[in-house]
Amino acid sequence: MMNEREKYKNCWDELSKDNKMVFISGPRQSGKTTLAKEIIAKDYPNLCYYNYDYVENKAKLIKEPSFFQDINRRDNSIPLVIFDEIHKYTEWKNYLKGVYDQFHDSYKFLVSGSGRLDVYQKGGDSLAGRYFLLHLWPFTLGELAGNDSHPEPFLNNLLRVPDFSGVARYKEIWDTLSSFSGFPEPFLKKDPLFYQRWINSYYKQLIYEDIRDLSQVRQAENMGTLFSLLPSKVGSPLSINQLALDIKVSPQTVTSWIQLFEKFFLCFSLSPWTKKISRSIVKERKLYLINFTLIKNEGIRLENMVALELYRAVTMWTDLGYGNFSLHFIRNKEKEEVDFLIARDNKPIFLVEVKTKEESVSRPLKKFQAILNIPAIQLVDKPAIAKIVDNILVTSLVTWVAHLP
């Protein structure tokens, strides 16, 4: 898996050079520990790996807060200290603050966890100014294609006709993702029986153990039922009231459970873009799954896969400091809709529409592109297509996504 995660290794190199702690946050089993221990750590002869889930390590943290000073050094290079799952320790923020303030000039610190470490990026937080955040997602085609991770050349030429020379390889990767997800273990094995066992265990452990135990939810069965309904809700404005009626709980409970699903990287939601769009719907969000293989409808699964590709891109661009990027959709009261809008520093920069076969430009895409006066891309799930019509690029989906930094 080491070559596949080279893009994230480069991100670590960039973020760690400024003597800040680096937090790696992402879904369970997305490869955070492998990235930390096998890919990043190989460049550090002096290494200390600490996992809070190990029983013997819990007491060590209390008795010897600076235990990492006892490592046997191989040379005079700066040691790397990896704290894995330390956010499960009640006083983890205060502990890391003390460690960083005392040792940041003589050690590098990497902190990884399956909870949303980024929820603590708020004003007044004791760790403010002491760390950079890096999101690690399951494999995406944009990552696996091995293209340059710098977004500026891409963003400066959004209507560029993509290079089709690698399309057979891109399509093979895309089909594997569609069947086995981007989680490293099932993706690399490509075994349907293993994948079914893996997915059954994954959600049982995450929903009925991790989320229940850490959030103290008392209705785990109902929460599991709610999650089982979400694949059929992907891609449409999400009705919290209808979900509440379906599982016979309050709308507030549904909202809090979906927030938990997002916190533990089961799904992500997009808000509508409303600025300069008259007669727009402003309340309902759209939801997408991290594991899109749960979606049976092929067209909706295709949209979800593109959503995750774009979400991976905008979070990585933001993490690396290229701007404050965000992913949205547009839908007005006439129910005219464009699947995705990407904004930079709160200004729209381009639109993306996903089609299974249709090559003619969709009317809503034309309309919203004219209103916003920004480039637009219509992605079509067909090979070797590249047309530019009125500042709109109509092109093959897998080829364009493969070149997404």
User: Do 203 and 226 fall within a single domain?
Assistant: yes
User: Do 191 and 335 fall within a single domain?
Assistant: yes
All residue ranges of the chain with pLDDT < 50 are: 120-124
Tens digit of each residue's pLDDT (9 = 90 or more) over 223-245: 899 999 999 999 999 999 999 99
What pLDDT, on the 0 to 100 scale, is given for residue 123? 40
User: Do 20 and 54 fall within a single domain?
Assistant: yes
User: Do 149 and 282 fall within a single domain?
Assistant: yes
User: Do 179 and 94 fall within a single domain?
Assistant: no
Two structure tokens written together for 373: 């006066």
Residue 107: CATH number of its domain: 3.40.50.300
- The last residue of a domain, from among 90, 110, 135: 135
User: Do 169 and 238 fall within a single domain?
Assistant: yes
User: Do 367 and 294 fall within a single domain?
Assistant: yes
Total-model pTM: 0.93
Number of domains in the chain: 2
- The last residue of a domain, from among 114, 135, 156: 135
User: Do 114 and 218 fall within a single domain?
Assistant: no
CB 329 within 8 A of CB 348: no
Please name which of 359, 290, 283, 240 lies closest in space to residue 135, comparing C-alpha atoms. Answer: 290
Question: In terms of DSSP bridges, do strands 80-84 and 108-113 run parallel, antiparallel, or are they unpaired?
Answer: parallel
What pLDDT, on the 0 to 100 scale, is given for residue 91? 87
What pLDDT, on the 0 to 100 scale, is given for residue 219? 79
User: Do 121 and 169 fall within a single domain?
Assistant: no
Q: Phi and psi dihedrals of 289, rounded to 5?
A: -95, 145
User: Do 115 and 168 fall within a single domain?
Assistant: no
User: Do 186 and 156 fall within a single domain?
Assistant: yes
User: Do 50 and 176 fall within a single domain?
Assistant: no
Tens digit of each residue's pLDDT (9 = 90 or more) over 292-324: 999 999 999 999 999 999 999 999 999 999 999
- The last residue of a domain, from among 115, 135, 155: 135
What pLDDT, on the 0 to 100 scale, is given for residue 277? 63
Domain of 35 in residue numbering reads as 3-135
